[in-house]
Chain A
Amino acid sequence: MADFTSGFWQWYIFILVVLSIAACFVLISWMSRGKKPTKVETMGHEWDGIEELNNPLPMWWLYMFYITLFFGIGYLLLYPGSGVFGGAFKWSETGQYDQEMRVAEQKYGPLFEKYRTQELAAVAANPEALNMGKRLFMTYCTGCHGSDAGGGPGYPNLRDSDWLYGGEPEQIKASIMNGRSGAMPAWGAMLGQEGVFNVSEYVISLSGRKASADAAAAGKEKFQQVCAACHGADGKGNQALGAPNLTDNIWLYGGSQAAIMKTISEGRNGRMPAHGEFLGEAKVHLLAAYIWSLSHLPEVKAQK
């Protein structure tokens, strides 16, 4: 009712409703009183032997009108619909939603809850729990990470062994619960076009790919000044900051030289939303177990 900030409208609707019902009542009783005609009168319209007659309303029809009127009054007394008077049941859409969610929680909550206290690795070994985790993943995660959890440009691959914030089960769970926010600042202005190119050559060489030795050497100098603070002197990244490992040839925003140069000069911002409050810890626990299992399939199979 946020649109109706003035109490006037509530009263306006209330009065309209009461007047309309009263008017319908008066109209129907007035129409049904009158003098009962004793014989059939015609309206004078005839076509092909079919005449329009001036008969009164059939009684069952009239009663239906009365029944709908009384039904309407009863409904408005119990449920909202007449403005200022909200109905005796105090019903509301949000109230019903909360109620249904409570019922669902009571019914389905225990199914998720029983795994919450188990070790994540143990949960991952339970096929039933894995299936539940997979369902949850298909519902909540595929939009960004893909239904095979392979990610996409800007969204990390969850099946490999490269983790921005750590791949331990508890670290994965923390990422889902609280979300993550990764920021790579834009260095274009500071490094200049040539500097960006040199640094990109160096970064490419870190993964063992072919790069110009001169440019990489120049880039290494800049890297130690600018990038090492987060990515480390050896470029292996820092999981505490979410700074990616630059030596494994796995690229969140694309591994081509153009993509790397764009990342360095314009920066990147990645955000994983927090799901703890939305899904509840029990479901996140199952999700974390499923995601962890994706990169530990041999171990999971061995545990079975």
Chain B
Amino acid sequence: MTQDKNPADETEKGQDEKEKQYVPSLIEAQAEIAAKRNRPDRTSVTSEPVSKPGTGQRVVTLAEADAATEALYARHKKVYPRQVTGLFADLRFVMVAITLGIFYGLPWINWGAGRQAFLIDLPGRKFNFFFWTFWPQDLFYLSVILILSALLLFFFTAIFGRVWCGFTCPQTVWTEVFLWIERKIDGDRMKQMKLAKMPWNSEKLLKRSAKYSAWILFSLWTGFTFVGFFTPIRELTLSAFAFALGPWETFWVFFYGFATFGNAGFLREQVCTYMCPYARFQGAMFDKNTLIISYDKVRGEPRGARGRVVDPKAQNLGHCIDCTLCVQVCPTGIDIRNGLQYQCIACAACVDVCDTVMAKMNYPKGLIRYTTENALEGKPSRILRPRVILYGSLLVAIGAALVISVLLRVPLDIDVVRDRNTLYRETVEGLVENVYTLRVLNKDNEAHTYRLSATGIEGMVLHGETENMAIGSGDVRELAVRLEADPARLKERSSKITFHVEATDNPKLRDSEEARFLGPVIR
């Protein structure tokens, strides 16, 4: 831009270079740019808006940007991202298709007759996951899955930067669909901006109502699908068409519909910049070897418009032709040439669009590219760093533990609660009794008959309904049992014993639980 031809700037630049012999890191460069932008003497130089010849597009000057940042109550400026094509746009399309395909498709898959493969049945307190059924007692797995998800995020962020944000985050994915609808109805970026400025005439009314209706329909479908993860979706469809949804189902369909409509339709990048905690703490996981999207300042500057046939070196220009396409495609409305910014969701739209421009200009691609801070400084980048190795090994270890424990999981559970009213009872025969309450939970999909036993002390006898205990699928049987032992056999005042439960029809279904047996020690 024009300010780089400012002589005052040249001298300052010279001073800076004297002070700093090394190439400044991106963050320092960003601070430097910010400091320069805040200098009051700069505004006078670039107050004139510049028109780019030929395109008729107005270029946003830094002065305007400054004015926006310096206003006490800055109004939110709507971002109209320009459509982009290229490798990363295709990649995002694939990710959108996969993630949304899973979201909208998964509830319709059945596993077993009439049993939804993925269903979080809150009233029934169970969770269907393909051939498994999980019960509240298995909540442990949920915490492991959450830990795994967090580690996965750390791992990918450390290596690839914010790829989650740019390609898989629901906020990005749904916004992408909403943008597509918007483009189909309102037209491209220029038409959208024109339409926004237009007074309310019939065309605007028609287009707005068409767009909002399409958004609302898609949002309601989203809300409906979401509820379908909790209520069997086929029944839900029937009751939806009969207008017989329950009050809570109706509420959640509209609640999630409204959330989709508002987040993907209007809040968009503001969710990422102001609301999302992950956006901020991912930045803390970056190091100099993390892949980031960056503008190659050394190659690009000084930027400026030029003809296609002109040799940039002769005009003392870098490769950046200052077409501002990278700003126009940005869904968060930033200028990537200002360096790494917290708003950047790493969607790589600027990479795609800059590569097309470079190709047209016959310059090498990658003026804006995926790179690392080290690479920009001309140092080698390493993928294997201590943090990556740590995240990776934790991921593998916990992931393997999860898979093994789910595979070895026995759909049966026994809980032992020792009676606390007395330490022990003495029978007339001189034996010692302890009383326990057992809770046996059948987590299998079928009813079974179970047998109880106890081991730990020689000659110990278990009294109670220990044989032929029939428990239905998902039911709990609570029963009081009493253990009788000869005090002469007790070696300690508190001995370790074990309760065993086993299905009589399937010896693989067995579980055990440790408990204590209290009694006097006779010496």
- Whether B362 is near chain A, meaning CB under 8 Å from some CB there, is no
Complex interface: chain B residues within 8 A of A59 (CB): 73
- Whether A105 is near chain B, meaning CB under 8 Å from some CB there, is no
Q: Which of B323-331, B351-359, B417-425 contacts A (4 or more CB under 8 A)?
A: B417-425
Complex interface: chain B residues within 8 A of A142 (CB): 419, 421, 437
Q: Do A255 and B428 form a contact, CB below 8 Å, given A40-B70, A144-B421, A147-B435?
A: yes
Complex interface: chain B residues within 8 A of A144 (CB): 421
Shortest CB-to-CB span from B41 to chain A, Å, is: 15
Complex interface: chain A residues within 8 A of B35 (CB): 49
**Chain B count of residues within 8 A CB distance of the other chain:** 22
**Chain A count of residues within 8 A CB distance of the other chain:** 29
Complex interface: chain A residues within 8 A of B482 (CB): 148, 150
Q: Do A150 and B70 form a contact, CB below 8 Å, given A49-B34, A142-B419?
A: no
- Whether B426 is near chain A, meaning CB under 8 Å from some CB there, is yes
Partner of B481, one of A55, A148, A153: A148
CA distance A8 to B63 in the complex (A): 65
CA distance A143 to B32 in the complex (A): 73
CA distance A55 to B71 in the complex (A): 10
Complex interface: chain B residues within 8 A of A163 (CB): none
- Whether A254 is near chain B, meaning CB under 8 Å from some CB there, is yes
CA distance A58 to B274 in the complex (A): 15
Complex interface: chain A residues within 8 A of B480 (CB): 146-149
Complex interface: chain B residues within 8 A of A155 (CB): 421-422
The DSSP consensus for interface residues of chain A is loop
CA distance A255 to B419 in the complex (A): 22
Shortest CB-to-CB span from B312 to chain A, Å, is: 31
CA distance A186 to B314 in the complex (A): 119
CA distance A145 to B421 in the complex (A): 7
Shortest CB-to-CB span from A89 to chain B, Å, is: 26
CA distance A290 to B435 in the complex (A): 19
CA distance A148 to B417 in the complex (A): 12
Residue-wise interface mask of A (85-128) relative to B, using a CB-CB cutoff of 8 A (1 in contact, 0 not): 00000000000000000000000000000000000000000000
Shortest CB-to-CB span from A33 to chain B, Å, is: 16
Partner of B428, one of A147, A151, A251: A251
Complex interface: chain A residues within 8 A of B72 (CB): 36-37, 40, 55-56
B residues in contact (CB < 8 Å) with A: 31-32, 34-35, 70, 72-73, 419, 421-422, 425-426, 428, 433, 435-437, 464, 478, 480-482
> 20 new A-B pairs (CB below 8 Å) besides A37-B72, A40-B72, A144-B421?
A39-B70, A40-B70, A49-B34, A59-B73, A142-B419, A143-B421, A146-B421, A146-B422, A146-B435, A148-B464, A148-B480, A148-B482, A149-B480, A150-B425, A150-B482, A152-B421, A155-B421, A155-B422, A249-B428, A254-B426
User: When A and B form their complex, which 5 residue pairs have the shortest distance between CB atoms, in order from nearest?
Assistant: A152-B422, A49-B31, A148-B480, A147-B480, A147-B437
Q: Could you jot down 28 A-B contacts, CB within 8 Å?
A: A36-B72, A37-B72, A40-B70, A49-B32, A49-B35, A58-B73, A59-B73, A138-B437, A138-B478, A142-B437, A143-B421, A146-B421, A147-B437, A148-B419, A148-B435, A148-B480, A148-B481, A148-B482, A150-B435, A150-B482, A152-B422, A153-B422, A155-B421, A155-B422, A249-B428, A250-B428, A251-B428, A255-B428
